[in-house]
A and B are shown apart, each in its own frame.
Chain A
Amino acid sequence: MARGGTKRKIEIKKRETKEQRAVAYSKRRKTLFSKSAELCCLSGANIAVFVTSPGDKPNVASSFSGHASASEIVDCYFNGTLPPKISGPESKSGFWWTDPDLYSSCDDLSQLDVIEDLIKRTKKDLMDCLEKQEKSRVCCFDSHQNPNSSSQAVTMYQNTSKPLDGSSQVIYGGESSSGQSRYLVNKDVGNCLWETKKENNLIMSVPQETEQTQSIINVDGGDEGQSFWDELCDEDMFGLNNGEDDVMIDIGEFLNEIESGES
């Protein structure tokens, strides 16, 4: 080593004095933790290291250089698996494929292949999802209803909707006081009643039946009120709000994780 201290061979056995032990402890703990930080950083592993202090006190110094806190890792050890954080330092805004520096950091062909593969897969998944949307859309109701005519809404689609089996989608709309909106709903209902659902503040005025169905109908994200077509025209192209496509949700969550958890 060219720098500062010389590299002496130290016998690996317990140090004699308390001071010696304390010194060794502080120095070595520092390197230990920085090495575990490196390991975790470079290989994306989730690590927790626990070290007691050499005094007689039951103090504990811990490093959770991993991507999660030490307590989390401890809990996971006693229960199940950890949520891995393998995501690289991708760009914080936008999607990973819009990053202009995506290719500049690639040193060899294999990395470019990896990127190409990822992009292809993403595209394929999106195409599949679009196809599914096209096929299973039942009816697209574009209404300019009077928001006060709640009774009208109830009987609406029972006649016009095709009977569906398995997982299917229904797009039905109602006009809220704030404007026109359409819901994209993913339903797994076999025998469920097909009834429309009014928007937020109008829900109260809807008769009982509808409210019951609402509990069966699982609208994830539909309360936001943004329709499929609106979103498609947005910047946020792939934010389909029904959680149908796992890949897309991954990317979204991806970025959220990075934003919230990047150290």
Chain B
Amino acid sequence: MGRRKVTHQLISDNATRRVTFRKRKHGLLKKLNELTILCGLRACAIIYSDYEEGPEVWPNRKEVRVLLNRFRALPVEKQTKFMMDQKDLMNRMIQDAKKRLEKEQMHSRAMELGLIASSNDIRDADYSEDLIKAADVVEKKIKVIRERIKAVESGAAILMIE
């Protein structure tokens, strides 16, 4: 997705940079607004840029002042507990990606075992552990099928195909 290539560094061309800044800032504030409404939160943003003298502030100065004073009043540990910067964001993304990878790996493992189990020529002692696991999977499937058979025989409808 995305029509243009995005380099993750400072844009060198001044004009493009300014346009990008404006567009993305608009989008950012829009998302912030949505978050506030959807979750019933309070939020604020302060933006210092080269394109404006002072800080640009969302939603309005009063709210920002109120929230920031509350923030400052918190003890330091609470202030910094959820403080994130780009590094932290990156780390989080990495962790999420790792988790997804593990999940996918488990899936593919299970499917491999299924394949081994279903293939007719089983070589002995190739992957002994895996064979055991494959045997387990097969047994489970057999159990499920038997139960289905019972159910069908006793007249239940054949609806669910797993």
User: Are A and B bound to each other?
Assistant: yes
Contact surface of A with B, Cβ cutoff 8 Å: 1-3, 10, 12-15, 21, 24-25, 28-54, 58-66, 69-71, 73-74, 76-78, 81-82, 84, 86, 88-89, 105-106, 108, 110-111, 114, 263
- The interface residues of chain B lying within 8 Å CB-to-CB of A71 are 79
Docked-complex contact B49 and A45, CB < 8 angstroms:
yes
Residue in A closest to B10 when the chains form the complex, CB atoms: A88
Number of A-B contacts (CB under 8 A): 193
Interface string of B52-81 (1 = CB under 8 A from A): 001101000000100110111010001101
- The interface residues of chain A lying within 8 Å CB-to-CB of B6 are 38, 42
Q: How far is the CA of A14 from the CA of B39 in the complex (A)?
A: 6
16 A-B Cβ contacts within 8 A?
A21-B39, A33-B84, A33-B89, A35-B24, A42-B6, A42-B17, A43-B24, A49-B43, A53-B41, A64-B85, A74-B46, A77-B57, A88-B9, A88-B10, A111-B12, A114-B12
The number of chain B residues touching the other chain, given as a range, is 35 or more
Docked-complex contact A70 and B20, CB < 8 angstroms:
no
- Contact among B17, B41, B92 with A43 in the assembled complex (CB-CB below 8 Å): B17
Residue in B closest to A36 when the chains form the complex, CB atoms: B28
Docked-complex contact A47 and B46, CB < 8 angstroms:
yes
Docked-complex contact B28 and A39, CB < 8 angstroms:
yes
Q: How far is the CA of A64 from the CA of B89 in the complex (A)?
A: 11
Q: A69-B85, A89-B9, A114-B12 are in contact. Are A50 and B68 (CB under 8 A)?
A: yes
Docked-complex contact A47 and B10, CB < 8 angstroms:
no
- The interface residues of chain B lying within 8 Å CB-to-CB of A21 are 38-40
Docked-complex contact A263 and B46, CB < 8 angstroms:
no
Q: How far is the CA of A192 from the CA of B1 in the complex (A)?
A: 70
Q: How far is the CA of A34 from the CA of B25 in the complex (A)?
A: 13
Say what secondary structure dominates the interface of chain A.
mixed
- Contact among B38, B42, B49 with A15 in the assembled complex (CB-CB below 8 Å): B38
Docked-complex contact B20 and A43, CB < 8 angstroms:
yes
Docked-complex contact B37 and A13, CB < 8 angstroms:
yes
Is B8 engaged at the interface, CB distance under 8 Å to the other chain? Answer: yes
- The interface residues of chain A lying within 8 Å CB-to-CB of B14 are 114
- The interface residues of chain A lying within 8 Å CB-to-CB of B50 are 44-45, 84, 86
Docked-complex contact A73 and B39, CB < 8 angstroms:
no
- Contact among B54, B67, B92 with A30 in the assembled complex (CB-CB below 8 Å): B92
Docked-complex contact B82 and A60, CB < 8 angstroms:
yes
Docked-complex contact B82 and A82, CB < 8 angstroms:
no
Residue in B closest to A114 when the chains form the complex, CB atoms: B12
Docked-complex contact B24 and A263, CB < 8 angstroms:
no
- The interface residues of chain A lying within 8 Å CB-to-CB of B135 are none
- The interface residues of chain A lying within 8 Å CB-to-CB of B32 are 32, 49, 51
Is B129 engaged at the interface, CB distance under 8 Å to the other chain? Answer: no
Is B97 engaged at the interface, CB distance under 8 Å to the other chain? Answer: no
Shortest distance from the beta carbon of A260 to any chain B beta carbon, whole Å: 14
Q: A89-B10, A110-B13 are in contact. Are A35 and B1 (CB under 8 A)?
A: no
